[in-house]
Structure 1
Amino acid sequence: MAGTVVFDLDGTLADTSGDLVGAANACFRARGLGDLLDPVEDALIAFHGGRAMLRAGYGRMDADTLLPPGAEDEDYYRLLDNYADKIAEHTRLYPGVEAALDRLAEAGHRLAVCTNKPEGLAETLLREMGIRDRFAAMIGADTLPVRKPDPRPYQAAVEQAGGQVQRSFLVGDTETDRKTASAAGVKVALIAFGPEGEAISRLAPEALLESFDDLPDLARDWLG
């Protein structure tokens, strides 16, 4: 009996850091602060979301620079607009993603996405990357009133795909994904080729994914 494989999006299926950092830097430039983040050095920050990037940038401002009240909220919505305009300029799928998705589908597994990216942006990005039709379900940050690491978005993704939570697992890249899997009572495979590399093992996932080439065999071992 096949199962369901649920994927995070940013930093898991695709390296979106360049476009995310670009959207944040556009906010900083609009305030005359210049580019406060580096698309390579700050890739890990990008995968923790828009507000994390803004706060990291603010922390690098000159000590005598003051932001007006409500600046973070204003910049967050500006960041989303900036990102929507250039959502796939530098973003690329990680090597082996499409082949792995094909092999999982051929084995009968259901596929879903559960991300903390806003649903509309996630839908757009998956279409731009040409893989939206591979997934039977897509749950974004604002699809439900809660987001990861609350287990309900994960559960909704599995159920929307027609699967059962007890016959599913999560593929992700951050502590949020580790906590989500624990809360949902499922296993998690964390990628070991993202910004953290092998250091992601500190989160004690049930598996470290060295390459997407290894995912179909892992799914066979875990789901049959």
Structure 2
Amino acid sequence: MKTVVFDLDGTLADTSGDLIAAANACFRQMGEGDLLDASRDAGTALRGGRAMLTLGMQRLGRPLDDATIDVFYPKLLEAYAQDIDSRTYLYPGAMDAVETLKSSGYRVAICTNKPEALADQLLRRLGVRDIWQSMLGADSLAVRKPDPEHLHETTRRAGGDPAQSMLIGDSITDRKTAQAAGVPCVLVTFGPAGGDMSALKPEALLHDYADLPGIVAELIGKAA
């Protein structure tokens, strides 16, 4: 079965606001103010909790301290779990495109470097958990993106063939994952990660989710 696999953060949904709020909660616990800004630091948010904590420490002028980050990373995840969706939104047309693909016979799945429990919680809060035929997070396996096995196993659990899959993402990590897996990659151009997605040379760029079904059919063919 042909399978379309999606990244989550920055691809299906803009989660940066809630991620930054969780990081700022940690900085307040350190006795500091809110060090990150939702508009300026959205790209860093989508690189994960440790990246946000590192950026905050740099703004304080402190040397990089892995021990401090190790202490506060679980606190960040706890704060995020307590307020995971108040600032998060699905991109316009994203779920319409997913529904169209699924009704056309494609398998649809999520492969994310967000911890699985948090990804599951977020998708349920957004009301879109049940549409996916599989969802693997950063801790679902012993490996994670850009290791191709993360993508391959996501596809297999969706009932698909890894050789007939593709990845929709928003970052160099997604691009490297698809390259390692030997499958096409589509990168969205509207995510907070910013930058020039065309420079990563994906097989296609996605400017509007309305265009995705046509791109999928072009890259991996129509579903059987």
Q: Same fold (TM over 0.5)?
A: yes
Alpha-carbon distance change, 108 to 18 in structure 1, aligned in 2, over 3 angstroms:
same
Aligned residues: 221
Matched, 1:111 2:118: no
- Contiguous gaps of at least 5 residues in structure 1: none
Is this contact kept in 1: 2:42–2:193, CA < 8 A?
Answer: no
Cα 1:69–1:8 shift into 2, 3 Å: closer
Measured in 2, the distance between the counterparts of 1:196 and 1:16 equals 11
- Deviation readout 1:184-209 (Å, 9 max, x if unpaired): 00010000111255711111111000
* Residue 13 (structure 1) aligns with: 12
Q: State the SS of the aligned residue for 1:6.
A: strand
Aligned residue for 1:189? 186
Number of the residue aligned with 2:75: 78
Alignment counterpart, residue 146 of structure 2, candidates 127, 146, 149: 149
Structure 1 CA distance for aligned equivalents of residues 210 and 194 of structure 2: 17
Partner of 1:36: 35
Identity value in percent? 52
Give the match's secondary structure for 1:141: coil
Q: Which runs of 4+ in 1 moved over 6 A?
A: 66-69
AA partner of residue 46 (structure 1): A
Q: TM-score, normalised by structure 1?
A: 0.95
Please give the per-residue CA displacement for 1:85-126, whole angstroms capped at 9, x wherever unaligned: 000010000000111011101110000000000000000111
Shift of 1:69: 7.3
**2:176, 2:65 → 1: CA distance?**
35
Partner of 1:168: 165
Letter in 1 for 2:208: S
Map 1:93-112; keep pairs closer than 5 Å: 93-112=90-109
Counterpart among 113, 117, 121 of residue 120 in structure 1 = 117
Q: CA deviation at 1:70?
A: 2.0
